[in-house]
Chains A and B, each alone.
Chain A
Amino acid sequence: MKETYEFNKEDLAEIEKIKAKYPDKKSPVMPVLWLAQEKFGHVEPAVQHLVAETLDIPAAHVYGVVSFYTQYYGERKGKFVFDVCTTLTCQLCGGYDILHHLENKLGIKAGETTEDGMFSIQSVECLGACGYAPMMQITNGVYCNNLTTEKVDSIVDGLKSGKMPEFEQIPFPQHQDEQKNSEG
Chain B
Amino acid sequence: MPEIFIDNVRYEFEGKPLVLQFMLDQGLDPPFFCYHPSLSIPANCRQCYVEAGTPVMNRETNEWELDEKGERVIRFFPKLMTSCSLEASDGMVIKTQRTSELVERAQKDTLEFILVNHPLDCPICDQAGECPLQIQTYKYGPEGSRFEHKKVHKPKRIKLGPKVILDAERCINCTRCVRFTEEISKTEQLTIISRGDKNYPAVAPGTEFDDPYSLNTVDICPVGALTSSDFRFKARVWEMNQTPGVDVTNGKGCNIDVWTRDNLVMRITPRFNPAVNDHWMPDFGRDDITRLNENRISKPQVKLDGDSIKSSWSNAEMSMAEKLQEVKPEEILVIGSAFSSVEDNFVLNKHFSALGAKEAVFSPFIKEGSGDGFLIEDDQYPNTNGCRLLGLKELSPSELEASIKESGVKLVISLEDDLVGRGAVSAAAFEGKFFVYMGSNHNETSAAADLVIPISNSVEQSCSFVNTGGRIQRTVAAKETMYTNRKLNLEMSMGRLDRYGTKFDNWVSDRNRIDCMPAWEFLERLATLSDQQFGYQTTRDIIAEIASVNEKFSGVNYDRIDDELGVPLISNEQEAKSV
Contacts and interface: CB of A to CB of B under 8 A. Distances in A.
Given A58-B188, A58-B189, A61-B188, A67 B194 contact: yes
B191 A63 contact: yes
B572 interface: no
Contact of A45 (B191, B196, B206): B206
A60 B196 CA distance: 18
B193 A64 contact: yes
A125 B199 CA distance: 14
A64 B199 CA distance: 10
Interface string A39-78: 0000001001100100000111111100110000000000
A60 B194 contact: no
B195 A58 contact: no
A4 B325 CA distance: 75
Contacts of A49: 204, 206
A68 B189 CA distance: 17
| Residue among B192, B195, B204, B207 having the largest count of chain A Cβ atoms under 10 Å | B204
B204 A45 contact: yes
B183 to A, nearest CB: 13
B194 A48 contact: no
Given A45-B204, A49-B206, A64 B196 contact: no
B193 A62 contact: no
B196 A125 contact: yes
A59 B194 CA distance: 15
Interface in A126-179: none
Candidate in A48, A60, A64 with the most chain B CB atoms within 10 angstroms: A60
A6 to B, nearest CB: 17
Contacts of A59: 204, 207
Contacts of A125: 195-196
Contacts of A63: 191, 193, 202-205
B394 to A, nearest CB: 43
Contacts of B334: none
B206 A60 contact: no
B44 to A, nearest CB: 15
B476 interface: no
Contacts of B203: 60, 63
Contacts of B206: 45, 49
A61 to B, nearest CB: 6
Contacts of A68: 193-195
B190 interface: yes
Interface string B361-395: 00000000000000000000000000000000000
Interface residues of A, number: 14
A58 B191 contact: yes
A67 B168 CA distance: 15
Nearest to B187: A58
A38 to B, nearest CB: 21
A164 to B, nearest CB: 29
B204 A67 contact: no
Nearest to B186: A58
Contacts of A58: 188-189, 191, 204
B195 A60 contact: no
A166 B145 CA distance: 49
Contacts of B205: 45, 48, 63
Greatest chain B CB density within 10 A among A48, A49, A67 is at A67
Nearest to A70: B195
Nearest to A68: B195
Given A45-B204, A45-B206, A48-B205, A67 B189 contact: no
B326 to A, nearest CB: 65
A52 B204 contact: yes
B133 to A, nearest CB: 24
A117 to B, nearest CB: 22
Nearest to A63: B204
A62 B206 CA distance: 13
Contacts of B194: 67-68
A20 B67 CA distance: 56
A61 B204 CA distance: 8
Interface string B162-201: 0000000000000000000000000011111111100000
Contacts of B188: 58, 60-61
A62 B191 CA distance: 9
Contacts of A67: 193-195, 202
Interface string B525-548: 000000000000000000000000
Tell me which of A49, A58, A62, A63 has the highest count of chain B C-beta atoms within 10 A of its own C-beta.
A58
A2 to B, nearest CB: 10
B118 to A, nearest CB: 21
A92 B188 CA distance: 41
Contacts of B202: 60, 63-64, 67
A60 B192 CA distance: 8
A101 B189 CA distance: 41
A161 to B, nearest CB: 36
Nearest to B192: A64
Interface in A74-88: none
Contacts of B191: 58, 60-61, 63-64
Interface in B202-217: 202-207
A55 B575 CA distance: 43
Contacts of A61: 188, 191
A136 B91 CA distance: 55
Nearest to A59: B204
Nearest to A65: B191
A45 B204 CA distance: 8
A48 B204 CA distance: 9
10 contacts: A48-B204, A58-B188, A60-B191, A60-B204, A61-B188, A63-B191, A63-B193, A64-B193, A64-B202, A67-B195
Closest CB pairs A-B (n = 3): A59-B204, A58-B188, A45-B205
Given A67-B193, A67-B195, A125-B196, 4 more contacts: A62-B204, A64-B191, A67-B202, A68-B195
